[in-house]
């Protein structure tokens, strides 16, 4: 029995289910387990229904499933106004829609939904492997679309996939042209971040051992491309957060708003005395879903939506939800606030909690009296660190008075302990001090001019304000482990069990192997190109188009677009012209079609599969007065069409068909 045109073929159903499976696998990390189980259940039910083992679910069951999904989402998420709740709702609805897919039009709707849902993955991550998986899902969805529209059901076939790949291949030039020409408009809305989207990174609070936790992660933090030579490693202090408030255990950042008007413009203010020429570079930062940005000391920028705080940290007006490129310049030689501090800032940077760490407060005040010179006092404290302390990835837990226990008891610490205790000691001695959180160093690519900074490069150091000189960077860690400035943490602790303890199979643990190290360098290079030329193309668009077109004008942009469109349509045009000659109907067939059309209008339609001579004989039997002309036309067609000696059509058949009038009277 012939399958109705509205009915979905077996091959079409197969590819629709494959596209749905690809979408679910693509988002599995973002979905609750029960949504993934629901998707698998819907696929299984749909297969059983096609095999006539079960019917379509009745409406009461579908209503219960919908109510259950809404209840599950409400329990799973505190609010449905977020990216992950919306995605989970979309996937759940996608699966339930499979259970009421009756017609081709239903399947087409699901294919369009597959395109949209796959593209949503680019909001979560824009890495090369993830983007390749999105393209693969697009190819499967296109295959499903092709198979749905096939006229004949031949069972399972890979033919639709081949046609889908051809369609995607010929569309590439047009896609590239659109990518090059269409301006980036930015995000129109800000999507709330779900609890499941937390990423590792420097936190907005600093407590003992907080940075040591990042040693277990080799995730990328950001990459930096320098316009000139890369500065020496010991000068690569990537400043991000400034901790000025201390409650006895945790350090926190100062507020953006205060009496000292901390928010400044994009360029800077007169509180910084810049010395020499700036270092120019571009940062490609991974999503943190926070507002702070990382840069070298005393940064300045003309980036839209970026502001500098008086304590020389950078903040973004929007949360960094996607990989972001921003251009910076920094003066490595400078004096920050050398003329003095605002009274509010002075009070903030010297404040210590009452009763906190009494032994350290007593010793600091004693040393301040014995060593009134601030430089000598700092060297004395650093000398204490150098004589007695051990730099370790696994420091012991500390109690209430963290600085006292660290300085006078355990003396086994990580960088955040050093920075915190040093800043507290200097405050107790009467000198303004604070803790800086960020990253230090990074992997400098041996052949390209960029630096890769990973989470295990997280670092903390201190700053002390000295009258007439401003804020001075002091890294107490360097007093105990001076090689930290010259080597990455991977080189320093690569053989330590605590390094990358949360990711024992990371390639970074095997970077001493030549092939592995080469693979890491190649991966970093291609990922850098991807971040700067694809994800960060909006920064280069104008310059690239000027280099390509000479002058960016409307006419030249339209010409580029039409050229790309022509390349895309060229294969289809060639196929059309090639098949046009092959499929051109024979003139004699056209004449016999006119002959049959005239008889059909006269009430004598030709039956399906009926030969032309049989048709003419039936016409002669039903309308004897047409026998002579009908049989003459049929025999003339057969003789001319199938006689090898009569390849060229003659005008006799055309004249007879033109004069044939089956409606005339006997």
Cβ pair 540, 284 in contact under 8 A:
no
Strand-strand pairing, 458-466 and 433-440:
antiparallel
Cβ pair 47, 53 in contact under 8 A:
no
- Cβ burial 163-176 (10 Å sphere, 16+ → b, else e): bbeebeeeeebbee
How far does Cα 637 stand from its chain's mean position? 65
Question: Residue 610 in 3-state DSSP?
Answer: coil
Q: Could you say which DSSP state residue 273 is in?
A: E
Active site annotation includes 457: no
How far does Cα 140 stand from its chain's mean position? 20
Largest CA distance in the chain: 137
End-to-end Cα distance, the chain: 43
Write the CB contacts of 577 (distance below 8 Å, at least 6 apart in sequence): none
Strands (E), 232-368: 237-246, 251-253, 272-275, 279-285, 292-293, 299-300, 306-308, 314-316, 324-330, 333-336
Number of H helices, E strands in the chain: 22, 19
Cα–Cα distance list, 604 to 124, 125, 654, 658, 662 (Å): 66, 66, 20, 18, 9
Residue in 69, 459, 524, 596 annotated catalytic: 459
The H-assigned helical ranges of 332-455 are: 343-350, 358-370, 374-388, 402-405, 415-428
Active site annotation includes 459: yes
Cα–Cα distance list, 187 to 71, 176, 436, 465, 586 (Å): 31, 21, 31, 41, 58
Active site annotation includes 475: yes
Q: What are phi and psi of 25, to 5 degrees?
A: -65, -35
Dist CA 544 CA 536 (whole Å): 12
Cβ pair 220, 442 in contact under 8 A:
no
Residue 19 tokens read as 């596209």
Dist CA 320 CA 240 (whole Å): 13
Cβ pair 167, 575 in contact under 8 A:
no
Residue in 404, 457, 475, 524 annotated catalytic: 475
Dist CA 610 CA 196 (whole Å): 68
Question: Residue 118 in 3-state DSSP?
Answer: helix
Q: Which residue has the tokens 């501090």?
A: 341
Cβ pair 359, 404 in contact under 8 A:
yes
Residue in 415, 431, 457, 596 annotated catalytic: 415
* Three-class DSSP labels, 189-223: CCCCCCHHHCCCCCCCEECCCCCHHHHHCCCEEEE
The H-assigned helical ranges of 260-334 are: none
Residue 539 tokens read as 């920064």
Q: Burial, 242: exposed, middle or buried (Cβ in 10 Å; 0-12, 13-18, 19+)?
A: buried
Dist CA 188 CA 290 (whole Å): 18
Q: What are the residue numbers of the active site?
A: 415, 459, 475
């Amino acid at each position: 029995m012939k399958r109705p045109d509205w009915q979905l073929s077996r091959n079409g159903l197969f590819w629709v289910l494959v596209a749905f499976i690809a979408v679910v696998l693509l988002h599995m990390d973002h979905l609750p387990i029960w949504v993934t189980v629901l998707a698998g259940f819907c696929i299984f039910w749909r297969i059983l229904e096609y095999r006539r083992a079960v019917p379509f679910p009745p409406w009461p069951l579908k209503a219960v499933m919908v109510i259950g999904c809404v209840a599950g989402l409400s329990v799973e998420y505190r609010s449905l106004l977020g990216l992950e709740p919306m995605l989970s709702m979309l996937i759940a609805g996608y699966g339930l829609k499979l259970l009421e897919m009756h017609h081709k039009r239903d399947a087409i709707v699901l294919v369009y939904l597959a395109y949209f849902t796959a593209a949503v993955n680019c909001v979560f991550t824009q890495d090369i492997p993830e983007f390749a998986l999105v393209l693969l899902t697009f190819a499967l969805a296109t295959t499903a679309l092709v198979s749905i529209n096939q006229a004949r059901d031949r069972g399972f076939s890979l033919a639709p996939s081949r046609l889908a790949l051809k369609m995607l291949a010929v569309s590439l030039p047009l896609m590239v042209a659109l990518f090059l020409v269409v301006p980036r408009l930015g995000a129109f809305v800000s999507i709330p971040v779900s609890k499941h989207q937390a990423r590792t990174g420097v936190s907005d609070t600093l407590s003992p051992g907080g940075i040591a936790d990042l040693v277990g992660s080799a995730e990328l933090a950001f990459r930096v491309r320098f316009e000139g030579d890369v500065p020496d490693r010991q000068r690569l202090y990537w400043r991000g957060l400034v901790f000025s408030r201390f409650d006895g255990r945790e350090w926190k950042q100062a507020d953006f708003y205060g009496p000292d008007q901390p928010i400044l413009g994009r360029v800077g203010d007169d509180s910084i005395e810049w010395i020499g020429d700036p270092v120019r570079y571009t940062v490609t930062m991974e999503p943190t879903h926070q507002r702070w940005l990382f840069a070298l000391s005393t940064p300045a920028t003309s980036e839209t939506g970026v502001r500098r705080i008086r304590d020389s940290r950078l903040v973004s007006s929007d949360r960094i939800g996607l990989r972001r490129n921003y251009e910076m310049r920094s003066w490595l030689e400078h004096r920050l606030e050398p003329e003095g501090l605002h009274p509010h800032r002075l009070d903030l940077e010297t404040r210590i909690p009452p009763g906190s760490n009494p032994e350290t407060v007593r010793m600091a005040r004693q040393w301040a009296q014995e060593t009134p010179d601030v430089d000598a006092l700092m060297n004395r404290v650093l000398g204490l660190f150098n004589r007695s302390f051990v730099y370790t990835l696994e420091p012991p837990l500390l109690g209430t008075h963290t600085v006292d226990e660290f300085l006078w008891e355990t003396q086994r610490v990580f960088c955040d302990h050093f920075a915190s205790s040093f800043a507290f000691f200097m405050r107790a001695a009467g000198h303004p001090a604070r803790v800086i959180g960020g990253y230090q160093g990074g992997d400098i690519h041996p052949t390209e001019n960029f630096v890769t900074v990973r989470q295990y490069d997280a670092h903390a150091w201190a700053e002390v304000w000295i009258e007439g000189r401003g804020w001075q960077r002091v890294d107490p860690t360097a007093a105990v482990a001076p090689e930290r400035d010259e080597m990455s943490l991977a080189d320093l602790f690569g053989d330590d069990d605590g390094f990358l303890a949360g990711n024992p199979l990371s390639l970074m643990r095997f970077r001493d192997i030549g092939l592995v190290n080469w693979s890491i360098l190649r991966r970093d290079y291609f990922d850098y190109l991807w971040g700067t030329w694809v994800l960060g193309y909006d920064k280069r668009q104008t310059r690239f188009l000027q280099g390509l077109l000479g002058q960016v004008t409307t006419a030249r942009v339209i010409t580029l677009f039409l050229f790309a469109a022509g390349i895309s349509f060229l294969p289809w045009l060639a196929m059309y012209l090639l098949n046009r000659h092959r499929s051109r109907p024979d003139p004699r067939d056209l004449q016999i079609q006119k002959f049959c059309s005239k008889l059909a209008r006269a009430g004598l339609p030709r039956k399906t599969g009926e030969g032309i001579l049989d048709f003419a004989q039936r016409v002669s039997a039903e309308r004897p007065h047409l026998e002579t002309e009908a049989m003459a036309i049929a025999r003339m067609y057969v003789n001319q069409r199938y006689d090898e000696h009569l390849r060229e059509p003659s005008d006799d058949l055309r004249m007879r068909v033109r004069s044939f009038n089956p409606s005339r009277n006997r």
